[in-house]
Amino acid sequence: MSDIGIIGGGPAGLALAHDLSGRSHRVTLFEAAPELGGLARSFRLGDLEIERYYHFLCADDHGYFRKLRELGIADRLRWRATRMGHFHGGGLYPFSSALDLLRFDAMPFTARLRYGAGLFYCSRLTDWRRLDRVAAADWLIRLLGRRAYEVTWYPLLSRKFGRRYDRISAAWVWHRVHRVARSRRSPFHQERLGYLEGGTTVLVTALEQELRRRGVVLRPSTPVERILVEGGRATGLRTVAGETVRFDRIVAAVPLPLFLRMAGDLPADYRRRLERIEFLGVVCATLRLRRPLTENFWLNSSDERVPFAGWIEYTNLNPAMTPDGSAIVYVPFYLPRDDPRFRMPDADVVRDCLAGLALLAPGLDQSAVVDWAVSRDPYAQVVCPTGFADQVPAHTTPVAGLYLIESSQLYPSDRTISGTLDLAAKVADLIGPG
């Protein structure tokens, strides 16, 4: 039986503690925030308990389904046919099926046919590694045509990644298309997306309760200052309060920049390699509006007047979350941490959101807002340039007994809760039984 310390109380850290405690290890989990859950935490918005960031499930999220079954809460999973829209040139277009694409007159008809063929190709492609060294912009232009790329993907890439947009790997784009496409019965059907009745907090609460039942020591409000290393082996942790705790093995389940701050005794070449991996932050406004904006769950925008790449009308996935019929809308801005908007007052962020949304819904102003909140995370999105597969760090590190779970390891996938649960399971297998 080993004593294992886990740094990070997000879904990955909680799932790892669950997996390891089931294998007879003694586990202590440290979390800097007062609450467990990380980006899966919920918060109070007026009379509602809602997710701080939007989460949804696709048909291939098997790691998530497995954990629900293990916790006995699979009956809380719900599925719903959803719609996607595209806002372009002041017009709102449905963008959920092959028929919608054929009617999308922002592109010539031949471009629409080519775009549909390209999406079908992505849904069937499984060998993503040959796309790793190809720039997404070049690949999309070859696959879809320049006009289709300029109307659809260029605005999304350039607004999300800024000056880095033309360096993004085609493999990352492929996975975004592939994941949602696999949630459709055919190109002529809408995607079916999933959610947990009661929100992702149901998963977090179930994990926390089961960990306490198993005797796992949970220590929220306990930030770790240093990973202790002696003779090339991780031996313990020192908290910000100065407490030293000894462990046989340590797993860091935190963003890579935080791991690098804690792990001062890494080999220089390994540290330099990890420091080259870049991240974007996110500023996400959550708006509760008196009435729905559209019938769409996800709406992308290529309208140059809109300052964000799109928005998520979450109540079109889970209408039961607002019994009064009001709408929950998430508006994310992905930004470098030095971008002025990252430090913009919350009220100004909401003002910019309403100005953009008013292009879709003329007359929309502050009077339409029941409540709002703004959340920020400095390491929400890893930047995946061409050749990124060679940069992704392994779960094992050069320091014996020290393991890493980090969002860059999800590549080519974007960050999802299901993906982080899979990473936790891999590390549990590496550590083995107690």
pLDDT per residue as tens digits for the range 369-411: 999 999 999 999 999 999 999 999 999 999 999 999 999 999 9
**pLDDT score recorded for residue 221:** 98
Residue 30 makes CB contacts below 8 A (sequence gap 6+) with 5, 6, 7, 8, 9, 219, 222, 223, 224, 237, 239
Pick the CATH number of 97-187 from 3.40.50.12280, 1.10.3110.10, 2.30.140.10, 3.40.470.10: 1.10.3110.10
**pLDDT score recorded for residue 182:** 65
**pLDDT score recorded for residue 191:** 81
**pLDDT score recorded for residue 121:** 83
Q: Are 131 and 169 in contact (CB under 8 A)?
A: yes
CB atoms within 10 A of CB 235: 19
**pLDDT score recorded for residue 202:** 95
Classified as helix, coil or strand, 373 is strand
Residue 340 makes CB contacts below 8 A (sequence gap 6+) with none
**pLDDT score recorded for residue 125:** 83
CA separation (Å) from 241 to 103, 177, 222, 346, 393? 61, 45, 8, 31, 30
Residue 365 makes CB contacts below 8 A (sequence gap 6+) with 354, 358
Residues of the chain under the 70 pLDDT cut: 1, 181-190
Tell me the pTM: 0.94
**pLDDT score recorded for residue 250:** 98
Residue whose tokens read 């019929």: 325
**pLDDT score recorded for residue 188:** 52
Q: Are 434 and 1 in contact (CB under 8 A)?
A: yes
**pLDDT score recorded for residue 218:** 98
Superfamily of domain 3-55+199-277+386-431: FAD/NAD(P)-binding domain (3.50.50.60)
Q: Identify residue 294 by its one-letter amino acid code.
A: T
Q: Can you tell me the distance from the alpha carbon of 230 to that of 240, in angstroms, rounded to the nearest whole number? A: 19
- Domain extent listing, the chain: 3-55+199-277+386-431, 97-187, 279-382
CB atoms within 10 A of CB 79: 13
Same fold, 3-55+199-277+386-431 and 279-382: no
List 3's β-bridge partners, or say none. Answer: 26
Classified as helix, coil or strand, 237 is strand
- Closest CA relative to residue 251, chosen from 420, 62, 33: 420
Classified as helix, coil or strand, 372 is strand
What CATH architecture is 279-382?
A: Alpha-Beta Complex (3.90)
Dihedral sign (CA 223, 228, 234, 235): negative
Classified as helix, coil or strand, 230 is strand
